Structure 1
Amino acid sequence: MSSYDNVRQQKVSDRRKESGYQTKRLYFFAKDLDRIKKIAEEMGYDGKLTDEEYSAVVRSCIAARYSKTTNKAVEEIDTKDKQYTYTLKQIVRYRLKQKDDPSSVIAFMNKWHYNVPKLESLVGKHTSSFRERVEPSSWCPKWIEALRGKNKRK
């Protein structure tokens, strides 16, 4: 592995750790991977999946199974866009738990090039006035508030 590859891999590892991911190796048979790929295609993924995309698909399968076996309602994350939004929610909540203030979370999201989610993935949770207050293509405190999932207005 070249030094460039080592540096790149270290950056990916740092980003994941700082985002709250916990690493766990999983092992699959070829048939299992084919099934995951089919599920991923139904969710809107195309082409070769990244490790994080595999994780998102498996996470949605776990959530569905958990909901079924415990009879507890679990957020349905059955599309690529919903999965990305769910991932961002978890990252924002993790960073806030780490005592980051909203401006630090915004800087973090920009540093690691996380894109803002599609507004459509938050439809139903916010009024149309939210759409007017938020710049759809850049991070702002309103995005952090929306992804946090709790209305913290005074």
Structure 2
Amino acid sequence: MSIEEQIRQQKVATRRKDSGFKTKKCHFFDLDLLRLKKLAKKMGYEEKISNEDLTSIIRSCIAEKYSAVYPEKIIKIPNSKEEQYLYELKQIIAFRCKNHSTLDEIVQFMKNSKYPVPVDKYNSLNMSNDQPEWCHELVNALKPKK
């Protein structure tokens, strides 16, 4: 592996850690992967799905099973690629808040980490900027309610 690839992988690992992700290794049968790919297509993912995409799909499966086992818990199950991405952003922002990051620090982290701005959410805030970008209003809209 080249030095550039090692550096890239280290940056990705750091971004994930700073976003609150915990890395776990999973093992699947071919049938499991086929089913995940079929779910991915139904949820709006492209033909080739990344490990991050698989993680989002599995996260939805966990939420659905959890809500079936614990019906008294109200869980919003993200059933599309867009809903899954919003859920992920909310979890990242919640993690950063829990770790005492300021609003400015969270905005800067989201920009520096190159998390794409959820355009629909941004537009729903009636922001005047034509070029969607991470800002206090967007982070506030995505952070957990107390």
TM norm. shorter chain > 0.5: yes
Deviations 1:54-113 (A, max 9, x none): 000000001001101111221120000000010000011111111110110000000010
> What does residue range 4-153 of structure 1 map to in structure 2 within 5 Å?
4-71=4-71, 72-119=73-120, 131-133=125-127, 135=129, 137-150=132-145
Percent identical among aligned pairs is: 38
- Superposed CA RMSD: 1.8
2:126 counterpart SS class: helix
Name stretches of at least 5 consecutive residues in structure 2 with no aligned partner. none
TM-score normalised according to structure 1 size: 0.87
User: Cα distance, 1:133 vs. partner?
Assistant: 3.6
Count of equivalent residues: 144
User: Cα distance, 1:149 vs. partner?
Assistant: 3.3
Counterpart CA distance in 1 for 2:86 and 2:55 is: 14
Counterpart CA distance in 2 for 1:118 and 1:77 is: 17
TM-score normalised according to structure 2 size: 0.92
1:132 counterpart SS class: coil
Name stretches of at least 5 consecutive residues in structure 1 with no aligned partner. 123-127
